[in-house]
C-alpha cells in the first residue's frame, strides 16, 4: 500500500486549498492514479484499521440493487446513515443504477413502458461471451437521476479488461476523501474484481484507481500525518466461496492474516 501513502504525501505537499460543499475545506489534487496488483495480496490498508466487514456489507448491498439502509445495511454498518431520510431511503444511488438503470421500450400498442437494465449481469455476460470487448463498463452517473439521489455517486464509473487469463478493473472516482473513503473504496472494488473474476474463470490482477478531485479534509490532516509515520505491514488475503457474484453472501467472504495498526478516527464531512 506504499502507493496510497505516496498519494497522501503528494496531496499534503502539492494539494491546493479549496472550499467544498460541506464547508470543511480541503487540500485538493486533481488527476492522480493508483495501481494495485492483487497477485501480491489484498489491498487493505494496514497503517490504520479499515473495517472490512463494513466494506463487505456495503458491496453486497450495492449488488442487491438496494437503496434503503434498512434492507441489508442496518444494523451491520452505519456508513450511509448520515445521508438517509427518516425512512432510511437514499434515492436511486449506486445499487439502483448498477442493477435497475431505467429505460423505456415501445410496446405493440405504441406506448412506452418502463424497463430496467441490469448492468452487473450484463457486464458479467459480456466478459464471458466477448472477453476482448472494450465495452465492459458499469456506470452509476445517471444524469437524469442525480437530483433524486441523497448523494451523487463519487465512485461513478468502472471498466473491466480481460488479458489472457487475467481480469483487471479500473475505477474513475470524481470525488475522493483520501483519509476516510479511499481505503474503503480500494478494498470494495478489489473485492468486486475478485468476485467477477471467479465467476468468469479468470484470475484477478490489477485494480486501477483513477481520481478526479482527490482531497484531504482539513480536519483530517493531523490524523493522516500520524498515519504516514507508520510502517506498512504484510498485506492480507481474501478467499471466496465458489458461487456466482450475485449469489455471494457475507459469510462466503473470508479475510485472512489482517494485522493493521491502530484505528484512526476521521470525522465524516456530510
Q: Which of 12, 51, 154, 240 is catalytic?
A: 154
The angle formed by the CA atoms of residues 24, 32 and 190, to the nearest 5 degrees, is 95
Q: Is 154 a catalytic residue?
A: yes
| Integer Cα distance of 199 and 125 in angstroms | 10
Residue 253 is placed in which grid cell?
Answer: 467472504
Parallel, antiparallel, or unpaired: how do β-strands 203-217 and 166-177 relate?
Answer: parallel
Of the candidates 187, 179, 184, 189, the one whose C-alpha atom is nearest the C-alpha of residue 140 is 189
CA pair distance 204, 70, nearest whole angstrom: 32
Question: What is the C-alpha separation between 269 and 66, in angstroms, rounded?
Answer: 23
The catalytic residues are: 154
Amino acid at each position: 500500500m506504499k502507493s496510497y501513502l505516496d498519494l497522501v504525501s503528494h496531496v499534503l505537499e502539492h494539494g491546493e486549498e479549496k472550499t467544498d460543499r460541506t464547508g470543511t475545506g480541503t487540500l485538493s489534487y486533481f488527476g492522480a492514479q493508483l495501481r494495485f496488483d492483487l497477485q501480491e495480496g489484498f489491498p487493505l490498508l494496514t497503517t490504520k484499521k479499515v473495517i472490512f466487514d463494513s466494506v463487505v456489507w456495503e458491496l453486497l448491498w450495492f449488488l442487491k440493487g438496494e437503496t434503503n439502509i434498512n434492507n441489508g445495511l442496518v444494523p451491520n454498518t452505519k456508513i450511509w446513515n448520515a445521508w438517509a431520510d427518516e425512512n432510511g431511503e437514499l434515492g436511486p444511488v449506486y445499487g439502483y443504477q448498477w442493477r435497475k438503470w431505467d429505460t423505456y421500450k415501445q410496446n405493440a400498442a405504441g406506448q412506452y413502458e418502463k424497463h430496467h437494465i441490469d448492468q452487473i449481469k450484463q457486464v458479467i455476460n459480456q466478459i464471458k461471451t466477448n472477453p476482448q470487448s472494450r465495452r465492459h463498463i458499469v456506470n452509476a452517473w445517471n444524469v437524469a437521476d442525480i437530483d433524486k439521489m441523497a448523494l451523487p455517486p463519487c465512485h461513478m464509473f468502472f471498466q473491466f479488461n480481460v488479458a489472457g487469463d487475467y481480469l483487471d478493473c479500473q475505477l474513475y472516482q470524481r470525488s475522493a476523501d483520501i483519509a476516510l473513503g479511499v481505503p474503503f473504496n480500494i478494498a470494495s472494488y478489489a473485492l468486486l474484481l475478485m468476485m467477477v473474476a471467479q465467476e468468469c474463470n479468470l484470475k484477478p490482477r490489477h485494480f486501477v484507481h483513477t481520481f478526479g478531485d482527490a482531497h484531504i479534509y482539513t480536519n483530517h490532516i493531523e490524523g493522516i500525518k500520524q498515519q504516514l509515520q507508520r510502517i506498512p505491514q504484510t498485506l492480507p488475503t481474501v478467499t471466496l466461496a465458489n458461487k456466482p457474484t450475485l449469489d455471494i453472501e457475507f459469510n462466503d467472504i473470508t479475510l485472512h492474516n489482517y494485522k493493521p495498526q491502530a484505528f484512526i478516527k476521521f470525522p465524516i464531512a456530510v
